[in-house]
Structure 1
Amino acid sequence: MTREAADRLLARVWAELGRDADELEALAPLPEVPLPARLDVSSLAAASVAAATLAGWADVAGPASLRLDGPRIATAFQSERVARFDGEAPSVWSPLSGFRRARDGWVRTHGNYPHHAAALRRVLGIDDRADAAAIDAAVARRGAAELAESVTSAGGMCVAVAAEDPAVDEEVRRHPLIEVSQLDRAEPSGSWPADPARPLAGIRVLDLTRVIAGPVATRTLALLGADVLRVDPPTPAELEWQHLDGGAGKRSALLDVRSVAGAAALETLLDEADAVVLGYRPAALRRLWLAPDALAARHPGLVIGQLSAWGFDDAAGERGGFDSLVQASSGIALVEGGQDAPGALPAQALDHATGYLLAAAVMTLLRRRATVGGTWAARLSLRRTAAELLGLPRRAEHGPPGLDDAARDAHAVTLVGRAGEQRTAAPAIASPTGPVEWPEAPHRWGSDRPSWAV
């Protein structure tokens, strides 16, 4: 990391959020984050966590009172490496997920979810007994671009590994890293902060996201005192380890919002929510009357956060994706590896960084709603974060070593709750009085009622 790169990135994020540059003085010098890569993952991680930290406590923090810890941030970004559930390490990647050589290049597949794995097997003509050699052979018979298109059309997840294109990245960077818009001029509501120790106390956040970026954002809001309720459809089921890894401090309920009763229950939750975080594709949100403009019309004063893998225009917004696929398609995989074998970042850094930036945006807009009013929205995409990372300084090699297992373990905590004993990464952000701790152990997926805590 270059300190200058991290500082410049944070200053630009702060300006995009419309915040006062003087507030940056509350941060102590940003730390080196030991996430070794050719690309400057350290600066991306430090700046994104700093933005979330500062958004929570800028109003009550003294000069240089917010001190971040580099190894603690690195452990949070690599949380799956310390995760244990009742003593068992999760199986993070399915046999169908990873880089494979196609006839004319490489592809990256993602088969962690059963429905994505089934689609991939159908296209490859293999069954669920196929071993790694059989999967590799089936992929090797296909062209990379043709296979990616066929798998995507079948409802699966696969991209061709591509070289970075500076012209494309320059065009992507024409959009702000955080796109903020005012949807109406609702009257000021709420207060900020309600409690300096827990700035989001009394705030209700509806979490309609999956996988990593959205859950990272909403668990950060829960950490600062918000009542966060995650709501999922009954199917497809979430991966249990993934839900628990992103679920500290939150509750989890199931609702079929395609039914009349489920839609009515969700509308009741929205009536009393201060913020909602959306992670589903625009067409699905429109079908369910959950698109930002529809929400603003029915719920003036709501703060809306929205995430996408690839962006928000018609084609990109409807394309499903994950951090690993965005890395492969954007050129990151070839920067970190090479033509002989693609590589990956040392963490799902696009997801984690985007999650912290979204948390910073939601907190900023809640503060703005309380002081000047309005219905506000913030949009972020993994592809935009990837373009940001590709535009930062880079090394010829991967840099100094990262954390070993013992060092990561030093920044893990054990939580005990209704879902059993869980070891997870300690929170990355800090308060003016020092590190903060998770308020509650994660709840098992779908184990709560679809209602607010108070």
Structure 2
Amino acid sequence: MLARVAKDLGIEVGSINDIPGPAAAVPLPSRLATAELAWASVASVLLATGTDAVPALDADRIALSYRSDRFLRIDGEAPDVWSPYSGFWPTADWWVRTHGNYPHHAAALLDALDLPQNASADEVRAMLAAASARESAQRISAAGGLAVVVSPENPARDAALREQPLVDIRRAGDAPQARPHQSRAGAPLRGIRVLDLTRVIAGPVCTRTLALLGADVLRIDPPHLPEPEWQHLDTGHGKRSTILDARSPEMSTLLAHADVVVLGYRPAALDRLGLSPAALAERHPHLVVAQLSAWGTEYPERAGFDSLVQAESGIALVESPDGETPGVLPAQALDHSAGYLLAAGIVAAIRRRRDEGGSWRVSTSLRRVAAELLGLPRHTVPTSPREIDPADHMQDFAISGRTLTIVRSALPGFSFAAPRPWGSDAPEW
């Protein structure tokens, strides 16, 4: 897999020999090659940066990082990270998977089921049990909620997806060569300005990684869509955070002086805001534009999350404990891997912009990462878990009078800076 990524990044495949192999398997037990996917995804960032004398990746640290939400503590307390409206539900004939962590998605789900906004999980279960899986998923989706039918894998579809790059890097237009940025040891992206227009793990993991490498990252959120605090604190390390309407003049000013824009919203929504990769490259031909989507740009209107892609791609049934009840990967591995892979692609595109000029587009999707995982060699039974003592892998920060405890960086030699409170910074460089 790392050789495939090297080819996508435009890096000599022999360079993968500079990345020490893992001393032990990443302890993410599953039937699919989740451990191998996680190791290769994190290693891809080291491959892209070309860091000299690369130390070996810590398998335990990678596993904890991929499950960082489970180890996050705020004043010693674990936040409640899942909505009661998110999960697998039996229907009259099969299973559906829903996602209701955001209030507007939960509200749409309950509206679709003709339930009050304070309905219990048992009431949701009863309504879904009375209809077919397909009917339930279509009804919830039509109302603006998120639901998919749990499906078997589609080998032909996955094989076709694997014919496409895992990290797609392509020239999007002409522009003069960029001036070299002021990188330094321990901060290879120092001087690079990144606008972060992403949400929910994958995109924020990508931009968190860019900040870790020294970039000046400014995350922008719309005024009408607050981010769950735990989610921001779990992936906001080293970034500044502001609230801004994407149509405002301030956005144009920020874009004019940015080096990279990372997009994580639905492609159709970006088109309506004039923030599609093509529009950005036309107006700001100096940019590296990175796009992350759940299902791929061929589904511009479709929203999705890691759990939904696992369910519809066939992963949930591969990981089933009994062949009928859906299972899950040991972490939201599609999200985390897509984040690291996209970050690696951005680093490679920054290098090509410096050397060749031009504007560049980088993209991947959770569904494309799922196809890669489904194509890797499998284990006949889930790999055995290994106990990890998290004590040596945690880091504390003081945030707004509270103590935040997070998992340290999975990239050796780099340390996270504290996240800023959500929306607390001015929309300026």
Deviation at 1:306, TM superposition (A): 0.2
* Structure 1 position 413 matched with structure 2 position 395: yes
> Which residue of 78, 88, 91 corresponds with 1:89?
78
**Deviations along 1:162-210, whole A, 9 cap, x unmatched?**
0111112112222111111101121111326621321011110000000
Per-residue deviation, residues 26-54 of structure 1 (Å, max 9, x unmatched): 21113421100000001100000000122
What SS does structure 2 have at the residue aligned with 1:344? coil
Would you say the 8 A contact 2:181–2:191 is kept in 1? no
- Look up the SS of the partner of 2:342 in the other structure: helix
Q: Does 1:350 pair with 2:334?
A: yes
Equivalent residue number for residue 343 of structure 2? 359
Query: What CA RMSD, in Å, does the superposition of the two structures yield over aligned residues?
Result: 1.4
Q: What pairs with 1:357-436 in structure 2 (closer than 5 Å)?
A: 357-404=341-388, 407-418=389-400, 420-430=402-412, 435-436=413-414
Find the partner of 2:153 among 161, 164, 175.
164
The C-alpha deviation readout for 1:309-331, integer Å capped at 9, x for no partner, is: 00111xx2220000000000000
Name the aligned partner's letter for residue 46 of structure 1.
W
Q: Counterpart of 1:378 in 2: which secondary structure?
A: strand
Helix, strand or coil at the partner of 2:286: coil
Partner residue of 1:4? Answer: none
The structure 2 residue matched to 1:266, chosen from 251, 257, 279, is 251
Q: Is the 8 A contact 1:419 1:443 kept in 2?
A: no
Q: Percent identity?
A: 52
Which residue of 309, 317, 329 maps to 1:326? 309
Runs (4+) off by over 4 Å = none
Alignment correspondent of 1:117: 106
Picking from 7, 25, 50, the partner of 1:15 is 7
Tell me if the contact between 1:26 and 1:66 (Cα under 8 Å) persists in the aligned partners: no
For 1:5, the equivalent position in structure 2 comes to none
Q: How far 1:422 moved relative to its partner?
A: 0.8
Deviates more, 1:219-228 or 1:27-36: 27-36
Give TM-score, length-normalised by structure 2: 0.97
Which residues of 2 match residues 34-433 of structure 1 at below 5 A?
A: 34-56=27-49, 58=50, 60-62=51-53, 65-191=54-180, 194-258=183-247, 262=248, 264-313=249-298, 316-337=299-320, 338-404=322-388, 407-418=389-400, 420-430=402-412
What TM-score results when the alignment is normalised by the length of structure 1? 0.91
Give the Cα separation in 2 of the matches to 1:113 and 1:172. Answer: 29
> Shift in Å at residue 294 of structure 1?
1.1
Q: How far apart are the structure 1 equivalents of 2:311 and 2:386?
A: 22
Which blocks of at least 5 consecutive residues in structure 2 are unaligned?
none
Amino acid at match of 1:422: L
Is the Cα contact below 8 Å between 1:195 and 1:201 reproduced in 2?
Answer: yes
Distance 2:184 2:373 in 1: 35
Inter-partner Cα distance in structure 1 for 2:386 and 2:329 = 12
